Amino acid sequence: MQRSHIVGILALALLLIACRKDHTTPPPLTPPTSAPTKKVLLKDIVIPHLPSPYYHFEYNSDSLTTSIDFASGFSFYDVIYKGNTIAELRNNIIVNHDTLRYLYDNTGKLFMITFINQSNVLYRHVNFTYDGDQVKKIEWDHKEGDVGFLIDRSATFTYHPDGNVKTITDRRPAHEGSPETIITDQFEQYDDKVNVDDFSLIHDTYHDHLFLLQGFRLQKNNPTKEIFSAGPGNLAYTVDYTYTYNSDKSPAAKTGNLVYTDGSDVGKRFTTNTYYSYYQ
């Protein structure tokens, strides 16, 4: 065989080897492992001049709320779960052992909470109506002797496009000589940080049981403006809020500049403060 043929064959072999190497699939790259998102575990909400802490939360190792203390022992709830879903809140103070039982429809949405006293008597319902995943209406009723259950409160909600609540209209029907009341609460100019206290928007403080929201949110972020009105000639005010934040975007403190816009104190101003603490 001539030398030129041998050189040609070797050159062809080297070319084929090079081409095979060029088309070899490189080993897959392992994507970097991202750190798990840290859950924001609210511990206390403190509001000066109110029982302290105003709200206190405890959690289990899965970051599920296990107990809630309202107004420094005014109410104390044990939270019972079925899986990761709230099944019951049980008030555990000397003078009240009511159970708040959560009921879900066949799609998994919370549609009712029943209030049952320690004598196992069901005396109140809270009913939830939705538009998609947003709650649009909540109604409270109570047992009225042999008449049955009568609605004593209803709240309807509208939302901003980002999913934060815009207005809450809270209606209380006339009762025992008291006229019907309609309260509107409007929230504007939301920030882009984490909200931790939207459950308090529908808590009737000392007049009714607290319950946790399950499966929906009213506020994902924090409003920097609130406009409240109980109707012409009644209490009305506007609050401008400013916040300080932690590194995880949770609020550390909220300061409100409140001015009365109607009612007997129209024109008066004062400052509100709320402080938040968390488990590390």
Tokens representing residue 150 in the block: 């009568």
Across residues 168-178, what is the average pLDDT? 90
Smallest Cα–Cα separation from 153: which of 186, 180, 185?
A: 180
pLDDT of residue 279: 97
77 Cβ contact list (under 8 Å, min separation 6): 67, 68, 69, 70, 89, 90, 91, 92, 100, 210
Select the more confidently predicted residue: 165 or 13: 165
Q: Per-residue confidence at 22, pLDDT binned at 50, 70, 90? A: very low
Tokens representing residue 255 in the block: 């300061």
Tokens representing residue 256 in the block: 């409100």
222 Cβ contact list (under 8 Å, min separation 6): 190, 191, 193, 194, 195, 241, 243, 251, 254
Q: Per-residue confidence at 37, pLDDT binned at 50, 70, 90? A: low
- Residue 23: exposure state from Cβ atoms within 10 A (0-12, 13-18, ≥19): exposed
